[in-house]
Amino acid sequence: MSKTKVAVVKCLPLAGNASFMGGKFIREEDDVSKIKATVAKAVELAIGSLDVIIKPGQTVLIKPNLAFQAPAESHAVVDPRVVEAVVSYVKENSQASEVWIGDNPSLGMHVGRAKPAFAESGMEDAARRGGVDKVIYFDETEVVEVEIPEAKVFKKAAVFKPVMDADVVINLPKLKVHLAGTVTLGLKNWNGIIPNMHPSAQQQGAHRIDLGPKFADLYRVRKADLTIVDAIIGMEGQGPHAGTPVEMNLIIAGTDTVATDAVSAYIMGFDPIEIPAIRCTANEGLGEMDLEKIEVVGEPADAVRRHFGRPNDNPIGMYKGFTVYAQQTCPGCYANVRGALDSFKNTGINMTEFISKKGEVVVAAGGLPDFDPEFAKDKNLFVVGDCWEYFPTSDNIRQAINVAKSVTYYPGCAPVYIFAQLNADLQKMAKAE
């Protein structure tokens, strides 16, 4: 039996990378041409030609990773040059009737809607320059209820209709580490095929268990016909939103998203088995993660491999006067508190000044075996999650609410939206007179 192929292709040096990594995106025509040639080579090595997956007259949906409403310089979203190159390549090299691009920020209303996110990331302009026929704001479309009989956690999912309507789907993730998923690649990018309004049963149910089985289930809804990983500039450290850019200058492509993710994760210095989404999908028989059974074409993976810095998901003890008490048997609350603190720090805030002006902050996240109400007396208290109510210390939390200087409550289990909302509320507090 022939092995599944994953292409790894190196792009020629890009003039705009230095300023982009330094915080200013500059589009150079020549850079887009070089990336387009790299995409073309990767597709050719992986499948021969787009005609293998796109028949005349078919519609094609490109699903980028528009994880957040954030500028391109955040490196949290797909590089606009890659978006332009992929759209333009598909338009010119396939007999598709229409090429669409569509997505939705992963935390839905709490980090912005699709339309402003497409605009702020530069993706909409890039896709239009590439000749896209339609930019689809997923949160403005209908959803389709899909049964997933073999699912472990998502027996049924509400899926954005364009994902089901398109004849061909191209998955376009970015090469990043992720504090909850270890990495975010093609499988994690499927988080955007479902609405992410929080708190909602659909989102929270899956996050309470684990992201791995969730992505195996979502992958059953509809596999991508082709996955193209934007590995031009990756992200290490506090990904997926607050990490450090890493120049890789690669495009990685394959028809098996699991195999493409496995090779991409290996290039980031991981063993694919370390990534829950990869091992769950592979062990469900949905793709190949065994590198011995994957044919890597183009650059040998070892020749371009480097160790990406790992994210830390623990928010405890980071700042004097900003105390986090968290239930550490379940990361559903604490990992998202950490994500919010990383975003808050990235605003350039001076934490010492913030605490001295606004007063001490206490975050009580999840169910706490011990919590003295005096911890919160005259401080700004943030109560996170639902499960504290079921712990013997629930009365202590209620007393803390009565003696705190200010109280903000984030219901839900897991309250994933605090990743964005706690950061927004801290910023509001910092700006208030």
Instruction: Enter the DSSP assignment of 77.
Output: S
Stretch that binds ligand SF4, among 105-113, 170-178, 340-348, 382-390 (CB under 6 A): 382-390
Name which of 221 and 365 has its Cβ closer to ligand SF4: 365
Task: Report, in Å, the least distance between residue 17 CB and ligand SF4.
Answer: 39
CA distance linking residue 170 with residue 108, whole number of Å: 22
Stretch that binds ligand SF4, among 144-152, 209-217, 289-297, 326-334 (CB under 6 A): 326-334
Site for ligand SF4 in 195-224 (CB under 6 A): 208
CA distance linking residue 253 with residue 47, whole number of Å: 9
List, in sequence order, every residue forming a beta bridge with 296; answer none if it has no partner.
Answer: 6
Q: How many residues bind ligand SF4 (CB under 6 A)?
A: 12
Torsional sign, CA 201, 113, 136, 48: negative
Q: Is 181 in the site for ligand SF4 (CB under 6 A)?
A: no
Instruction: Enter the DSSP assignment of 52.
Output: G
Name which of 280 and 414 has its Cβ closer to ligand SF4: 414
- Find, among 210, 217, 201, 223, the residue nearest to 150 by Cα: 217
Site for ligand SF4 in 262-291 (CB under 6 A): none
Name which of 286 and 413 has its Cβ closer to ligand SF4: 413
User: Residue 166: in which H helix or E strand, if any?
Assistant: none
Among the listed residues 53, 333, 335, 363, the single contact to ligand SF4 using CB under 6 A = 333
Stretch that binds ligand SF4, among 255-263, 279-287, 327-335, 396-404 (CB under 6 A): 327-335
Burial 357-368 (b: 16+ CB within 10 A, else e): ebebbbbbbbbb
Q: Is 311 in the site for ligand SF4 (CB under 6 A)?
A: no
Stretch that binds ligand SF4, among 71-79, 245-253, 325-333, 368-376 (CB under 6 A): 325-333
Q: Is 397 in the site for ligand SF4 (CB under 6 A)?
A: no
Tell me if 139 sits within 8 A of 158, measured CB to CB: no
Torsional sign, CA 407, 317, 377, 370: positive
CA distance linking residue 219 with residue 227, whole number of Å: 13
Q: Is 387 in the site for ligand SF4 (CB under 6 A)?
A: yes
Q: Is 413 in the site for ligand SF4 (CB under 6 A)?
A: yes
CA angle 249, 253, 255 (to 5 degrees): 170
Mark 84-123 with x for binding to ligand SF4 (rule: CB under 6 A) and - for no binding: ----------------------------------------
Q: How many residues does the chain have?
A: 433
> Which residues contact ligand SF4 by CB under 6 A?
208, 327, 330, 332-333, 366-367, 385-387, 413-414
